[in-house]
Amino acid sequence: MSTDWFSSWFDSPYYHILYKNRDDDEAKIFIQNLADRFGINSSHHVLDLACGKGRHSIFLNSLGVNVLGVDLSNNSIEYAKQFAADTLKFAVHDMREPFAKAEFDFVLNLFTSFGYFETETDNLKTIASIAQSLKEDGVFIIDFFNATKVLKQLIPYQLKQIEGINFYIIKRIDGNHILKQIDFEDRGKAYSFTEKVQFFHLNDFKLLFEEAGLRIIASYGNYNLESYDEESSNRLILAASRI
């Protein structure tokens, strides 16, 4: 059984409670902007990698696109399957492993769903698997936090009260990772989880992509797909194609 922190945390109901207030309208705007910019349409087959409960997959499918959403969390995929249709499928999958060969026109990895692994080998395995799953003219799109801005504006302590639970959150830097310790009690039982996310700058992705056989073709700094600025942008959104 895997001991990776994300295997247990992402499959926990408390993960979904803590992050229940994610902005679905913002997600829809982002997906619509991607579809418009890259011409994603009903002729395309899209892989939503680390799809969670499927919010991006579901909206993209509503635009007529064929979508397969995959995630490591059994609970998330079971939830997402209630929205499945002929052109919308969900499956449990570890993104470090290849899913298919040259099958997808687009692979999406959204909302900082990368950087969780302990080794550079796993990082490379993931990107190489993505490159392998793309059709010859396919495009990989990753949405990550802008590490430069996050590191400058790191908030070391937060208290979030959600559904009667007090989530005590402590953030710190450990080498090239951001650690977020999450402590709380529910029904008399204490819980503690730690998120550990490696931070990648633009050049880090460039080198990783090149090693996996991908090249960056576009970069954006927010969900409106405006230009990326290392100092001020909230996001680092990259599009890459096979070399």
- Tell me which residue has tokens 């070391």: 156
- Asked if residues 9 and 15 have their Cβ atoms less than 8 Å apart, the reply is yes
- What pLDDT is stored for residue 10 in this prediction? 87
* Digit-coded pLDDT (tens) for 153-188: 999 999 999 999 999 999 999 999 999 999 999 999
The model's confidence at residue 21, banded by pLDDT at 50, 70 and 90, is confident
pLDDT for the residue numbered 3? 62
- The residue behind tokens 């247990």 is 8
In order of 28, 31, 123, the CA distances from 22 in angstroms are 12, 15, 26
| Mean pLDDT rounded to a whole number for the chain | 94
Question: 177-186 and 66-71 as β-strands: parallel, antiparallel, unpaired?
Answer: unpaired
pLDDT tens digit string along 42-57? Answer: 999 999 999 999 999 9
Over pLDDT 90: what percentage of the chain? 88
For 122, half-sphere exposure in the C-beta direction (CA atoms, 13 angstrom radius) is 11
Distance CA 106, CA 1 (A): 31
> What is the pLDDT averaged over residues 58-74?
96
Q: CATH 3.40.50.150 occupies which residues in the chain? A: 5-146+200-242
**pLDDT tens digits for range 85-134:** 999 999 999 999 988 888 999 999 999 999 999 899 999 999 999 999 99
DSSP reduced 3-state for 79: helix
* pLDDT of 1 above 60: no
Q: Which fold has domain 5-146+200-242?
A: Rossmann fold (3.40.50)
144 with 236: CB under 8 angstroms? yes
Token duo for residue 89: 């499928």
The pLDDT value given to residue 99: 87
